[in-house]
Amino acid sequence: MVTSTRLTGLVFIVQVLFIGLLYVMLVSQPSNISSSRFSRSDSNSDSKYLAMTNSPSFPNSSITVNLTVPLNDTRTEENATTLETYEEENSSDKPTTFLLIMVSIQPEGFSARECIRNTWYRGFNDSENVMMRFVIGTKGVTNSTVTLRLLKKENDIYGDIAFLENVKDHWITSTNKTLSMFIWAHDNVNFTYMMKTEESTFVYVKNMIDELRKRPKHTRLYYGKIQFKRRPIRRGSEWADPHWDLAPTYLPFALGGGYILSADLITLLVHRRQYLAYHPNEDTAVASWIAAYRFERRNDKLMCVTPFGKSKTLEGKCENSVIARFCYGLTGADLQKWFKILYEATINS
């Protein structure tokens, strides 16, 4: 009887040991398999991703400046989402403004820059509520070229050009240029709101400031002419986006001719820039970047899209808008003509 009891106890102990050993093997082996799989395949895809983010392959664009954040960066979303924190992060010697307008423009666009200075930006300067900077990519433009010498001379006179030395400029604003624009703004100016716009957009600055001052200051804002359920063009266009795969349609996005982000959203994107996926169209890319955060998306019908008709007349009335965006191709002379009409309508209203 005693022998039988001892044998039963021994069998029980062996069973417990066997079950424990089996558990350890089941728990540890998938981990090893997972680690093994990662080392064989995922590391390759990871290296491709890093290569893509640090050296984008989109045509006519490149960026390498400040695209990485140190691994020991301890900033969290909570301390990077408020405007108070944004202002604390920036040194007091930076200029401060309520609205920073960043105009994406090519190096050769002197006529358009003069047109903007003499129309919708006339009367404003850096000491007031609005600051404007022309954003120009100068990669590939060497010091020996006439264009760069003229640009530097122009900036010596006006002081309103932001040079992005690691961006190759193109007539279509690239995703890389837009992200570099955000980084430049974050690093060089204390602002409450930043507007990204282009040379063929007429900004009603006073109207824009009045609209922005109507809303609470410390909430995230994404503001523009919002497009819903727009399907990507897959091929045969300058705006083709064959690899868009987040959804059948684009996420709601503001047209790239003019949209506004609050400083706290800009700060989030700058801090997390090494994780951002690149897409060829900058406006849809920005919408996908901020989609994970809570923010106010404002669709403003006051943003007027103005075709330039075959009759060479300005179609549509935009005098009460916050921006007038010109579709189709305009020459420098066309811009000056129609900007002057809108400017005179604004000051006479």
Residue 304 has pLDDT above 60, yes or no: yes
Residue 284 has pLDDT above 70, yes or no: yes
Average pLDDT along the chain: 75
pLDDT, mean of residues 141-149 = 75
> For residue range 48-93, what is the model confidence (pLDDT) as tens digits?
322 333 333 333 333 333 333 332 333 444 444 444 444 455 556 8
pLDDT, mean of residues 317-345 = 81
For the chain, domain boundaries:
78-301
pLDDT of residue 75: 41
Query: What percent of the chain stands above pLDDT 70?
Result: 69
| Burial (CB count within 10 angstroms: exposed 0-12, middle 13-18, buried 19+), residue 242 | exposed
> For residue range 289-300, what is the model confidence (pLDDT) as tens digits?
988 888 888 888
Residue 271 has pLDDT above 70, yes or no: yes
pLDDT of residue 269: 93
Rounded distance, CA 63 to CA 29, Å? Answer: 42
Rounded distance, CA 143 to CA 150, Å? Answer: 10
* Greater pLDDT, 72 or 327: 327
pLDDT of residue 187: 95
**Token representation of residue 218:** 């410390």
Q: Is domain 78-301 in CATH 3.90.550, yes or no?
A: yes
pLDDT of residue 186: 96
pLDDT of residue 309: 56
Rounded distance, CA 59 to CA 180, Å? Answer: 16
Give the rounded distance of the alpha carbon of 221 from its chain centre. 13
> For residue range 196-251, what is the model confidence (pLDDT) as tens digits?
999 989 999 988 998 898 887 667 999 998 888 778 777 777 767 877 778 888 88
pTM for the full predicted model: 0.72
Reported confidence tier of residue 326, pLDDT bands at 50, 70, 90? confident
pLDDT of residue 17: 75
pLDDT of residue 56: 36
Lowest mean pLDDT among 113-122, 143-152, 272-281: 143-152
Sheet containing 190-198: which strands, arranged edge to edge?
A: 161-164, 130-137, 96-104, 190-198, 253-262, 221-227, 296-299
Residue 27 has pLDDT above 90, yes or no: no
Q: How far apart are the first and last CA of the chain?
A: 110
pLDDT of residue 229: 79
pLDDT of residue 178: 93
Lowest mean pLDDT among 3-7, 94-98, 128-132: 3-7
Residue 133 has pLDDT above 80, yes or no: yes
- DSSP 8-state symbol, 288: H
pLDDT of residue 311: 55
Residue 47 has pLDDT above 70, yes or no: no
pLDDT of residue 246: 80
Reported confidence tier of residue 312, pLDDT bands at 50, 70, 90? low
Q: Residue 153 contacts by C-beta under 8 Å, 6 or more apart in sequence?
A: none
